Amino acid sequence: MTSLAIADRTINVPFHGAELYVINHNGEPYTPMKPIVEGMGLAWQAQHRKLTERFKTCIIEMVIQLPGDTQRRNVMCMALRKLAGWLQTVTPNKVKPEIRDRVIQYQEECDDVLYEYWTKGQVTNPRKLQKDKAGKITSDQQEAIKQLVMTRGKALPKKCQAKAMITMWSSLKSHFGCSYKEISDAQFTEALSIAARVPLEGEFIGKMDPVTIGLPSEREKLAYNIECMESYFRIICDTWFSQVEPALRAVESPVAGRIHDRFSDGKAFMAAIKHGAYGMLLPGEIARCH
């Protein structure tokens, strides 16, 4: 059993009217589970039993005094890196209708918000706590563009990464005349294409004949659409492999292995389709829509 001082080791995290916490234990973030369970509207006794039976390797008992309490108490805490796995064991369709939306809200946002407070002391990217504006790209689409820029940038030599990311963001802003977060839903695939094909210093570009000015050919438009689709699918795959699959494996879900194979096959198929589309382009043609 571990005893922690409250003064400098606990971070208060306001979350949709509830008070959650992140606690530093040997350099790793943990979170008290009872405030989360009760914040979702669930019965603590049933979830306490599930935690001790199925997540015993991920939890520890600490004697701490949480803010607002008058004394130190025995508190069950879970490693923050395992929280998403536990959240997904709660089935929204099996809870009371009056708490269903709240359960889904916790599943979609809670671990991200806690991690933001742990690393930065605040939520610096509140996109998940705000409703999407009508007519604008959704928060998921914003994240897809951001991840594409980050992925391309980080694939370059370290000395070129910062400049490359600035180049991509500047190209998007110059093309649309606004931040990528403000573009319309209809411009989403075009934004992905721009971020995927803008030339970057440090990235190998083969010799290319001068592009013929004029309307794009059907081959160019097909290659453009496939490039956008492949980029978006790659981001979905990265999210699966880095976030969703680990959460499913943490709860020993049999689905994880089956879906893993589907995503792996899908990436290979998409790469082959993209290669075929580029192979049809004539000298001087590029993937473009205008």
CATH architecture of 2-126: Roll (3.10)
What does the pLDDT read at residue 245? 83
In order along the chain (290 residues), what is the average pLDDT of each group of 10 residues?
51 88 86 94 93 87 79 88 86 88 89 84 50 64 82 81 80 82 82 81 54 71 82 80 82 80 78 78 76
What does the pLDDT read at residue 155? 79
CA 10 – CA 117 distance, rounded (Å):
11
What does the pLDDT read at residue 290? 65
What does the pLDDT read at residue 3? 47
pTM over 0.85: no
212-216 long-range contacts (CB < 8 A, ≥24 apart) are: 212/284, 212/285, 215/290, 216/288, 216/289, 216/290
Give CA separation, 206 vs 38, 209, 288, in Å.
58, 10, 17
What does the pLDDT read at residue 130? 44
CA 205 – CA 224 distance, rounded (Å):
17
Helix H or strand E encompassing 170: helix 158-176
What does the pLDDT read at residue 123? 53
What are the structural domain ranges in the chain?
2-126, 131-206, 208-285
What does the pLDDT read at residue 204? 55
CA 255 – CA 240 distance, rounded (Å):
12
Burial, 220: exposed, middle or buried (Cβ in 10 Å; 0-12, 13-18, 19+)?
buried
Q: Which amino acid is at 194?
A: I
